[in-house]
């Protein structure tokens, strides 16, 4: 990834004239995940959301019990559909909290067997079978905190996913405060077999916002985790939420600008996600008590264009919207129309001539 980053920095044109967008990233003026996957694996690759049987320190009493205020009951903090439950229930891999006994190896083996990772992969493949045949997939442990477990549990869980012949890469959603050195060593080892991505839910660099959403750690914790992950040779993807209560447009751009300017270590990918107010969350209860501003369509499309401009060309943009379940969406309702959102963003980029790296 370092070579890719350096190559892009050396060849990226300084001005608009003659910029080779059609040959650089296909038809998009930014480095999309789809383009990266086709470039890397030579074919279209789909992400399969899998259940790792985890919980989160902000749910099990270690840091709190309510979770982040925007997070759904399914534990998905990136406003996406959670994977169907495996039957294990959240927390099957949870490390022992103070006063509790760590699970024995036989107990871990039983829990892993109930999760049936290979079975989950086959069922997830069947759900996208109309879109892809004989393809490759990314195993995505998405919901809750997927490194929040004993090392033997994580080893068995991730090894099953990596060993599946149709899995091209492993993606793990987690928190920067749940990455002890032993876990990073495990991920480094797995990365020698197949690419491993670590997705960190930073959401914002602003500490007032972080406290409001009950993130549970400060920015230096994220920076330390990023450094250790990059030293281990791992790919790091950062989640950012646009539209958090109280944040201005400049606050949001400041978060994206900060991430884009990180160097040694740098981030490899980013998810730009519109804040969704989902029913049943603490955020929804706050919205009903004290309605706060949620973005209008044109406001968001313009903001996304500026975020893309700020990001250097080596950063893969994994997402430019949210994709939450319509049945749970409280606000903004317009965001439930995914085709409208993506088409409108594409239109805004065409009309403004915005492209990734323009302001980097």
Q: Which two tokens stand for residue 344?
A: 């409108």
Q: How many domains does the chain have?
A: 1
Residue 112 Cα distances to 43, 150, 191, angstroms: 31, 12, 21
Is residue 357, in this structure, part of any structural domain at all? no
Measure the CA–CA gap between 125 and 123, rounded to whole angstroms: 5
Is residue 358, in this structure, part of any structural domain at all? no
CB 171 within 8 A of CB 202: no
Which domain, by its residues, includes 6? 2-352
Residue 18 exposure: Cα atoms within 13 Å on the Cβ side: 4
Is residue 248, in this structure, part of any structural domain at all? yes
**What predicted TM-score, i.e. pTM, was given to this entire model?**
0.91
Q: What is the pLDDT of residue 100?
A: 47
DSSP 177: G
192-204: average pLDDT = 98
Is residue 184, in this structure, part of any structural domain at all? yes
Instruction: Quick: pLDDT tens for 64-97.
Output: 998 999 998 876 555 545 555 554 444 444 444 4
Is residue 315, in this structure, part of any structural domain at all? yes
Nearest to 168 by CA among 129, 195, 141, 133: 195
Is residue 47, in this structure, part of any structural domain at all? yes
Instruction: Quick: pLDDT tens for 38-72.
Output: 999 999 999 999 999 999 999 999 999 989 999 98
Q: Is the peptide bond before 258 cis (omega within 30 degrees of 0)?
A: no
Characterize the bridge pairing of strands 316-319 and 269-274. Answer: parallel
Q: What is the pLDDT of residue 14?
A: 40
Instruction: Quick: pLDDT tens for 6-15.
Output: 655 545 444 4
Is residue 8, in this structure, part of any structural domain at all? yes
| 193 has pLDDT over 70 | yes
Measure the CA–CA gap between 58 and 78, rounded to whole angstroms: 16
Instruction: Quick: pLDDT tens for 250-273.
Output: 999 999 999 999 999 999 999 999
Q: What is the pLDDT of residue 200?
A: 98
CATH number for the domain that contains residue 108: 3.80.30.30
| 313 has pLDDT over 80 | yes
Q: Which residues touch 51 (CB under 8 Å, ≥6 apart)?
A: 83, 84, 85, 86, 88, 115, 120, 141, 143
Q: What is the dihedral of CA 256, 258, 264, 267, to 10 degrees?
A: -20
Is residue 241, in this structure, part of any structural domain at all? yes
Q: What is the pLDDT of residue 2?
A: 54
Higher pLDDT, 27 or 114: 114
Higher pLDDT, 155 or 96: 155
| 20 has pLDDT over 70 | no
Q: Kindly report the average pLDDT of the chain as a whole number.
A: 90
């Amino acid at each position: 990834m370092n070579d890719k980053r350096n190559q892009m920095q050396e060849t990226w044109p300084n001005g608009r004239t003659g910029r080779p967008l059609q040959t650089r990233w296909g038809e998009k003026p930014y480095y999309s995940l789809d383009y990266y996957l086709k470039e890397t694996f030579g074919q279209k690759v789909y992400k399969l959301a899998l259940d790792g049987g985890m919980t989160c320190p902000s749910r099990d009493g270690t840091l709190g019990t309510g979770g982040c205020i925007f997070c759904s009951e399914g534990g998905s903090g990136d406003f996406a559909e959670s994977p169907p439950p495996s039957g294990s229930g959240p927390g099957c891999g949870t490390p022992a909290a103070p006063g509790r006994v760590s699970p024995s190896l036989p107990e871990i083996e039983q829990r892993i067997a109930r999760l049936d990772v290979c079975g989950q992969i086959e069922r997830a493949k069947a759900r996208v079978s109309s879109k892809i045949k004989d393809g490759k997939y990314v195993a995505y442990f998405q919901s809750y905190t997927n490194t929040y477990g004993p090392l033997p549990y994580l080893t068995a869980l991730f090894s099953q996913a990596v060993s599946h012949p149709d899995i091209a890469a492993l993606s793990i959603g987690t928190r920067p405060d749940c990455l002890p050195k032993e876990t990073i060593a495990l991920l480094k080892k797995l990365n020698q077999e197949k690419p491993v991505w670590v997705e960190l839910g930073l959401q914002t660099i602003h500490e007032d916002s972080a406290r409001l959403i009950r993130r549970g750690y400060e920015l230096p914790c994220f920076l330390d985790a990023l450094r250790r992950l990059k030293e281990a040779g791992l790919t790091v993807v950062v989640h950012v939420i646009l539209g958090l209560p109280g944040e201005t447009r400049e606050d949001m751009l400041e978060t994206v600008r900060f991430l884009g300017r990180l160097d040694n270590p740098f981030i490899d990918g980013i998810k730009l996600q519109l804040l969704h107010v989902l029913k049943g969350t603490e955020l929804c209860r706050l919205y009903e008590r004290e309605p706060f501003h949620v973005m209008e369509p044109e406001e968001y499309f313009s903001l996304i264009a500026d975020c893309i401009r700020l990001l250097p060309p080596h950063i893969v943009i994994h997402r430019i919207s949210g994709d939450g379940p319509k049945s749970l969406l409280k606000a903004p309702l317009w965001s439930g129309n995914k085709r409208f959102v993506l088409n409108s963003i594409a239109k805004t980029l065409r009309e403004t001539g915005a492209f990734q790296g323009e302001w980097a």
